[in-house]
Chains A and B, each alone.
Chain A
Amino acid sequence: MDVPVTPGPLAPIAPVAPGAASPVSERAQARRETLRVLLRRPAFIIGSLVVLGWVVTAILGDRITPYDPFNDFAAGHQPPSTEHLFGTDRLGRDILSRVMVGSRDVLIVAPLAALLGVSVGTLLGLIMGYYRGTIDDVLSRLVEAFLALPVILVALLTLVVLGSSPAVVVCVVGILFTPIVARTVRSAVLSERQLDYVTAAKLRGESGLFILSREIFPNVLGPTVVELTVRFGYAIFTVATLSFLGVGIQPPSPDWGLAVSEEYTNMISGIWWPTLFPALAIASTVVAVNLIADSLQSVLTE
């Protein structure tokens, strides 16, 4: 989605004397300061713990699950009990184990998509914001056209044409996120380029590329990082929805969105557990990521 988590004026995290001597250590110190401030916010802590938790289960996978999530077939549709904390699904597999392993696909596909979107978007935003002129006009029109595209629907169309493999999902979602990121970075660059240190660098005769990479980019890092986190949250949201619609991750993956789509009709008959737990997993992850993004935004822009 294209709205920053808690909107507010965006300002760079420039240290006291930008471009002054030993910028690296200054920045490193600033970063440590930021981290300390972040760690005092409960939202950040909770969010990070949840995300970390899912990452750990994704990495360790079936080594820490109570049952084998793929080959252990007990009686189908058993409600949650002491033996199966989250109950069993239609084939009798333990749902807790599957939820734990289900984080893996999403936590690979979503960050890659977010990274793709943010990298290309930042590049575009930097170019558009700094050079302005015809390039900016043309690219802006293109960006607007892309923004008019409904993300899920275009993803649907593309996945139908190209077939739904994880690689295609990453590319499609990533590319569809690019324009939003580009716009955010562009506006940040626009406010940066008017500042004194940029004029100083130009007078010194530095090339545009140098200015962009050494002077401007580090100072738009704040909004970029926030954007990355927000994109990550919505990548999870979008990939889960695509899996729910059947064009994302394919069976027999224990992916959360897919799990919901496989058994959601049973909720009506009272068999709620195969659907509720994966759904809560999705919700918890996206909420956690957004809490982190929210904290980052407050800290990095004050």
Chain B
Amino acid sequence: MDFKRLDLVRRSATPIELDVVEAYANGRITRRQFIQRATVIGLSLPAIGAVIAACGPGAASVAPTAAGSAEPGASAPASAPAVTGGTIRCAIQKPVKVDPVSMEDLGGYGIVAQSFEFLCTQQTIGDPGGLAAGLAETWTPNEDGTVWTFKLRQGVKWQNGADFNAADVVATMERLVAAGNSGLKGVLEPGGAVATDDATVTFTLAGGNGNFPYLVSIYNAQTVITPADYVAGTTVDQRPDGTGAWKLVNYDPQVGATFERNPDWWGGQTPLDGTEFLFFDSTGPMITAYQGDQVDAIVQFDVLSGAALFDDPNFTLIATPAALHRQIWMRCDTGQFAQKEVRQALALTFDRPALITQLFKERAELGNDHVIWPGYPYFDDAIPQRTQDIEKAKSLLAGAGVSDLTATLHAGQLQEIPDLATLLKSQAAQAGITLNIEVESLDTFYNAQWCPPGATPPCSGAAELGIVDYGHRATPDVYLNAALKTNGIWNSSQYTSADFDAAFTEFQQAVTVDAQKAACTKIETILNEDVPVGVPYFYNYLAGNSNKFTGVFSSALGQMSFSQTSQVG
């Protein structure tokens, strides 16, 4: 360990930064987790490099391979000779809304993120999961993480020629807070964002928060920075001028969108001349289009539809481990699953590895009936992984005085969920539990089975047993808050636990690595024991492109980045 080099970094570090460095230096977090944490709290890349170099013999450099392409043989943008020119055609699900403030679907996120940008963006070199500089160049927290200072990039222009400055950022944040953005709710209050000068924005938070930069990053999709005089409710085709690498040229809500290179982009000249998006209603036709050579890239697809693509040698698969998951909620307050033992029994019938093989062809990670994804830096793997144990399930049921348990398993028509229901039914039957499957269209399902509107507390009209989908989040805050906290807005299991609520508050307020991990351990243990929701897996986000192009990156939220893409020579 090169203490001298380490000390240089230590001396100039704020307490939070110091804590992360110490955690890594003392081996409490892995190098990958360190890089993630460090980029989030705003440690500069040179500083990160210095710490890593200082902390171990043969420590590799910070920028090894191209991120976002987890498959071997993935393309590295810098090394290959870049051919300029050409257009890439991308298949994306049809956007429901392209209003940056209120959009909620992957189609919208993907389109808006082409011409608009975030303060913090996706890390495309090194391991995925951290943050890279976007419209903000650097950011630092104060001692307890209650005030974050963001220094903005200089010389950025809007596509209509106006200058980008702090006023735009402040106006954007105010707009989002007023609209009740789910990521910022409870964290940033009105007036919390202040422009201390043209190039600096200071965020004063409601409480200490060690993850704040995630909440103004690409992972909180609505936080694209829009001009100061942007009116909430305007869609991106009505006012297309963002700061991004691509200018929106044509938008047809039924057919697609076309973008052209923005010659004044701060990131330089993009190798490609333009990008073209084609809208699809479902994954099947996207795959067809790709195989028919009518698109070159696909924004998101699921394993079962895209089975053919895995064997296609001309297809570059972008498989990003993500926190995408399904929750099998069980009513904890009334009904047949009110007893903890019954819920545990059902969870014990899950054959998780089989589910991962059948439904995802191994492209998923085991879930342990809690919502802390193994990819989060504060994940604690010390909790024993629950596996299928039919005998134990039976004895738990007997002990709870339950025999011939029969329930209706509700599911929405979305990707693999009906198939998941089928497999669960078969697995549960081995322990004598009879599940009758009822599949409905997604809208009906959300309104009738999951969270019937108008109920107080929210979701108290939920069905006894059902499967609901959750998209990727860079932090588990939304899952914990909405789905599991007492009176959470998405709490379909009506789970109420004072212990859990306390652990969650502890997690939110924790800023040091150890504190976050300790809180997470508590959360994992409590959820694994109480099983308000069964979480059998976290599956990978799948996207991809044809080998004719290289340098394609994708977040797990439908935002594909083509600014470094070029045709292969």
Contacts and interface: CB of A to CB of B under 8 A. Distances in A.
Direct A/B contact, Cβ within 8 angstroms: yes
Interface of A: 70-71, 73, 76-77, 90-92, 163-164, 246-247, 250-252, 264-266, 268-271
22 contacts: A70-B422, A73-B354, A90-B419, A91-B419, A92-B358, A250-B413, A250-B439, A250-B440, A251-B413, A251-B418, A251-B422, A251-B439, A252-B437, A252-B439, A264-B284, A265-B287, A265-B305, A268-B287, A268-B292, A269-B308, A269-B311, A271-B308
A141 to B, nearest CB: 35
B422 A252 contact: yes
A19 B26 CA distance: 105
A264 B429 CA distance: 30
B439 A91 contact: no
B283 interface: yes
B314 to A, nearest CB: 13
Contacts of A71: 426, 429
A163 B438 CA distance: 13
B307 A266 contact: yes
B420 to A, nearest CB: 10
Interface of B: 283-285, 287-288, 291-292, 304-305, 307-308, 311, 354, 358, 413, 418-419, 421-423, 426, 429, 437-441, 444
A266 B306 CA distance: 8
A266 B308 contact: yes
Contacts of A70: 422, 426
Nearest to B438: A250
Contacts of A271: 307-308
B185 to A, nearest CB: 33
Contacts of A269: 287, 291, 307-308, 311
B358 A73 contact: yes
A157 to B, nearest CB: 14
Contacts of B419: 90-91, 252
Contacts of A91: 358, 419, 422-423
Given A91-B423, A265-B285, A270 B413 contact: no
Contacts of B284: 264-265
B437 A265 contact: no
B280 to A, nearest CB: 11
Contacts of B308: 266, 268-271
Contacts of B304: 90
Contact of B283 (A251, A252, A265, A268): A265
A265 B288 contact: yes
Nearest to B291: A268
Given A73-B426, A76-B358, A252 B421 contact: yes
A240 B308 CA distance: 26
Contacts of B307: 77, 90, 266, 269, 271
A252 B291 CA distance: 28
A247 B358 CA distance: 26
Contacts of B441: 164, 246-247
Given A90-B304, A266-B308, A246 B413 contact: yes
A268 B422 contact: no
A299 B342 CA distance: 64
